[in-house]
Amino acid sequence: MKPNPESRLTELGLELPMAPKPMGVYKPVLIIGNMLYVSGQGPLKPDGTLIKGKVGKDLSMEEGKLAARQVGLAMLSTIRANIGNLNKIKRIVKTLGMVNSTPEFEQHPAVINGFSELMADLFGEDNGVGVRSAVGMILPGNIAVEIEAMFELHA
């Protein structure tokens, strides 16, 4: 059965923020063939602010996980603004999750689960789970999480 992420968003009562404008020289999304590449997105909230801070110092693991979920909502907004409808997506293929964390913090995959669990909720257990990397680093503007992803579009 074809996933219906637009309906799932409504069923789950989720609110997408406004799609952010690029903050540099890059395309927010790029389609090549049936692959949709999404540039790194931050944890943009519906009020236009970003979730900031280092996980392990300013934010707990759970707060970082919520920030990663918010990145997913911002990413879906960016995708919708560029291709019109989330139902054009067949599946998520790859996720690169970057966590702004202290050097001692070691639970980067648990933080990025906030994004991955959202994708599974929207696209299903199979199509919503792809390959993934989760790493810690210093992020621009002290944002808590940045995620880039690749999706397959329906033919």
Over the chain (155 residues), the average pLDDT of each successive run of 10 is: 87 93 92 98 96 98 98 98 96 98 98 98 96 97 98 95
For position 57, what pLDDT does the model report? 98
Residue 6, domain member (yes or no): no
For position 2, what pLDDT does the model report? 72
For position 27, what pLDDT does the model report? 96
Which residues, at least 6 apart from 36, have a Cβ–Cβ distance to it below 8 Å? 29, 30, 79, 83, 89, 150, 151, 152, 153
Residue type present at position 64: G
CB atoms within 10 A of CB 63: 16
CA distance 18 to 154: 25
Residue 141, domain member (yes or no): yes
When divided into structural domains, the chain yields a total of 1
CATH code for the domain of 93: 3.30.1330.40
For position 1, what pLDDT does the model report? 65
Relative to beta strand 145-153, strand 89-100 is: antiparallel
pTM of the model: 0.96
Which residues, at least 6 apart from 118, have a Cβ–Cβ distance to it below 8 Å? 69, 72, 73
- Residue 91's Cβ-count burial label (10 Å; 0-12, 13-18, 19+) is middle
Residue type present at position 100: N
For position 21, what pLDDT does the model report? 86
Range(s) of the domain holding residue 143: 26-153
Residue 57, domain member (yes or no): yes
User: Do 14 and 128 meet the contact criterion of CB atoms below 8 Å apart?
Assistant: no
For position 70, what pLDDT does the model report? 98
**How far, in Å, are 15, 93, 100 from residue 68 at the CA level?**
15, 17, 11
